[in-house]
Amino acid sequence: MLIYFSVRMGKHVHIKSFGCQMNKLDTALVRSALDKSGFTFTEKVEQADVVLINTCSVREHAEQRVLSHLGHLKHIKENRPDMVVGVIGCMAQRLGDKLLEHDAVDLVCGPAQIPQIADLVAGALQDGQGKLAVTERIRQKPPEEQTQALEKFESAYGTLALYRESRICNLQFRIFSPGQAFVRVMRGCNNFCSYCVVPFVRGPEVCRPPAAIIEQIRKLADTGVKQVTLLGQTVNSYKYKSGERTYCLADVLEMASDIDGIEWLRFVTSYPSREFFDPMLQVMAGSPKVCNYLHLPAQTGSDKILRAMNRNYTAGEYLELLEKARTTVPDIAIAGDFIVGFPAETEEDFQATVDLVKRARYKNCFIFKYSPRPGTGADKKLEDNIPAEVKRKRNTELLAVQEKVSNELSQRFLGKQVRVLVEGLSKKPHLDSAESRGQPQLVGRTATDYIVVFNGPQSLAGQFAKVKIARTSPLTLFGELT
């Protein structure tokens, strides 16, 4: 709205983002939309007129971190009552008007309402009144106007976000590494795994039209993007019916592979289902651009717990999918997710998980302690009866099992040359001064998602480089530019 334009000009926004890649993408879109509307950005909360927090609800811990951040902002607001604090994302949708009752919060905006963000912020700055924009009936198919508004927002800012980021932010505050972008192919999720809050905060699955996805990737390629990661909660079940034809993920990957300038294509996260699994592997095997990497969460190795989690496969079926993946794409790297301490998980159930992790030979695993989420099936029907200490012990044990596998897999790279896409400066110092030879320490990833640390000029960020591996740790390869 034009009347708000003068309110926006020169106002400084600080955005803090929690959570997964979906949230990172939403943060980049929001930042880009606010930039277009005349706001400017600051990395310092103390200088901000507006603070936005993009939130995650997947585990209680993630929500606790946001609440403690809001506590800190409440203190700042005591001296600066005009500062506008907004909560956006999953927690905004989950808690809605309850969040507006928090002393620090002026604005609450769910993931489906982000196209309204500039007007909501400007409105709150103008009249000092609380603003609430969330979906009322989150489990119903979203109205067509909402889907269209999100599509318009995504198409416009999905491409611009990258350019604006490079203009707005220091490298360390950027969401996308140079030369890389995320492109959402679907929103929401229909699976209702019994532990998971996602369907309750992101709503039902809606797949984006392939033409819009491809157009966005083409525009990104025109701006110099080399790697695109396609995002979806169950990205491999992407399907879009257009006339007589139904497009699946393999079709999107094939079409995206034809785009000049795009060199690597990734997709996360996959669901262990046979549907569309073969075509996805075929395109990975056949296209040099589709990275040989699969993130395929198993969650547990116990069939009893899988049933209680409402995951529609057994451990045996899951291992068959891995086998198929490795036969079709021999050098594929696979990552997993596990939840330990799900209600009624016995030692025997846990040992089934340990066994699965040993057999799956993941490149790496994300291991989480079960966290009951209000409103989910597990929270309503099952008691969170595994003591915190047992959850912690199982988490540590599983990490140790995976670390051994990761170490063995990493060591296979010793003495080999790998091609990496350079992300930029490495955040942690890994190399000693003799190894670094006075050059900055860079980090990049292989097509199979291995993290590689080496020294080289910072100008390599966003470029491909070849590195000879001299040393390995479970999760990182170290080497020299060749």
Show the CA angle centred on residue 173, arms to residues 167 and 179, nearest 5°: 60
From the list ligand SAM, ligand SF4, none, pick the one residue 93 interacts with, judged by a Cβ distance below 5 to 8 Å according to partner type.
none
From the list ligand SF4, ligand SAM, none, pick the one residue 373 interacts with, judged by a Cβ distance below 5 to 8 Å according to partner type.
ligand SAM
With CB under 6 A as the rule, give the number of residues binding ligand SF4.
Answer: 10
Using the rule CB under 6 A, is 56 a contact of ligand SF4?
Answer: no
C-alpha distances in Å from residue 395, one per residue of 115, 192, 348 = 39, 24, 15
Using the rule CB under 6 A, is 376 a contact of ligand SF4?
Answer: no
From the list ligand SF4, ligand SAM, none, pick the one residue 199 interacts with, judged by a Cβ distance below 5 to 8 Å according to partner type.
ligand SF4
From the list ligand SAM, ligand SF4, none, pick the one residue 370 interacts with, judged by a Cβ distance below 5 to 8 Å according to partner type.
ligand SAM
CB 191 to ligand SF4: min, Å: 4
CB 104 to ligand SF4: min, Å: 29
- For ligand SAM, which is the closer residue by CB, 163 or 368? 368
> In this structure, is the dihedral angle defined by the CA atoms of residues 340, 345, 349 and 350, taken in order, positive or negative?
positive
From the list ligand SAM, ligand SF4, none, pick the one residue 315 interacts with, judged by a Cβ distance below 5 to 8 Å according to partner type.
none
Contact between 314 and 287 (Cβ < 8 Å): no
DSSP β-bridge partners for residue 41: 13
Task: Dump the DSSP string for 199-236.
Answer: HHHH-S-EEPPHHHHHHHHHHHHHTT--EEEEE-TTGG
Written as six digits, the tokens of 358 are 């040993």
Owner of token pair 């029907």: 381
CA neighbor of 112 nearest in space, from 202, 39, 242: 202
Residues in the chain, overall count: 482
Using the rule CB under 6 A, is 193 a contact of ligand SF4?
Answer: yes
Single-letter amino acid code for the residue at 10: G
CA neighbor of 230 nearest in space, from 177, 181, 175: 181
Q: Which of residues 246-285 bind ligand SF4 (CB under 6 A)?
A: 271
Burial of residue 419, with CB atoms counted within 10 A of its CB: 0-12 exposed, 13-18 middle, 19 or more buried: middle
Contact footprint for ligand SAM (CB under 6 A): 20, 58-59, 195-196, 198, 233-234, 269, 271, 297, 299, 337, 339, 368, 370-371, 373
- For ligand SF4, which is the closer residue by CB, 39 or 313? 313
CB 291 to ligand SF4: min, Å: 21
- For ligand SF4, which is the closer residue by CB, 199 or 210? 199
CB 433 to ligand SAM: min, Å: 38
From the list ligand SAM, ligand SF4, none, pick the one residue 85 interacts with, judged by a Cβ distance below 5 to 8 Å according to partner type.
none
Question: Which of 233, 236, 364, 472: binder of ligand SF4 (CB under 6 A)?
Answer: 233
Written as six digits, the tokens of 2 are 């034009």
- For ligand SF4, which is the closer residue by CB, 37 or 270? 270
- For ligand SAM, which is the closer residue by CB, 338 or 454? 338
What 3-state class would DSSP assign to 24? helix
- For ligand SAM, which is the closer residue by CB, 47 or 312? 312
Element (H, E) at 281: helix 277-286
DSSP 143: P
CA neighbor of 478 nearest in space, from 430, 420, 437: 430
Contact between 186 and 235 (Cβ < 8 Å): yes
- For ligand SAM, which is the closer residue by CB, 157 or 271? 271
Question: Which of 23, 191, 270, 364: binder of ligand SF4 (CB under 6 A)?
Answer: 191
Contact between 326 and 332 (Cβ < 8 Å): yes
From the list ligand SF4, ligand SAM, none, pick the one residue 462 interacts with, judged by a Cβ distance below 5 to 8 Å according to partner type.
none
- For ligand SAM, which is the closer residue by CB, 94 or 373? 373
Question: Which of 114, 198, 201, 477: binder of ligand SF4 (CB under 6 A)?
Answer: 198
What's the alpha-carbon Rg for the chain, to the nearest Å? 23
Written as six digits, the tokens of 269 are 């996260």
The CA distance from 431 to 364, in Å, is 22
Considering only the stretches 24-32, 190-198, 253-261, 287-295, report the one whose residues sit in contact with ligand SF4 under the rule CB under 6 A: 190-198
- For ligand SAM, which is the closer residue by CB, 158 or 297? 297
CA neighbor of 397 nearest in space, from 316, 338, 314: 338
- For ligand SF4, which is the closer residue by CB, 157 or 338? 338
CB 295 to ligand SAM: min, Å: 8
CB 188 to ligand SF4: min, Å: 9
Using the rule CB under 6 A, is 478 a contact of ligand SF4?
Answer: no
- For ligand SF4, which is the closer residue by CB, 306 or 461? 306
Burial of residue 212, with CB atoms counted within 10 A of its CB: 0-12 exposed, 13-18 middle, 19 or more buried: middle
Question: Which of 19, 115, 199, 210: binder of ligand SF4 (CB under 6 A)?
Answer: 199
- What phi, psi does 332 have (nearest 5°)? -65, 140
The CA distance from 113 to 396, in Å, is 39
CB 380 to ligand SAM: min, Å: 13
Give the residues lining the site for ligand SF4 (CB under 6 A).
189, 191-193, 196, 198-199, 233-234, 271
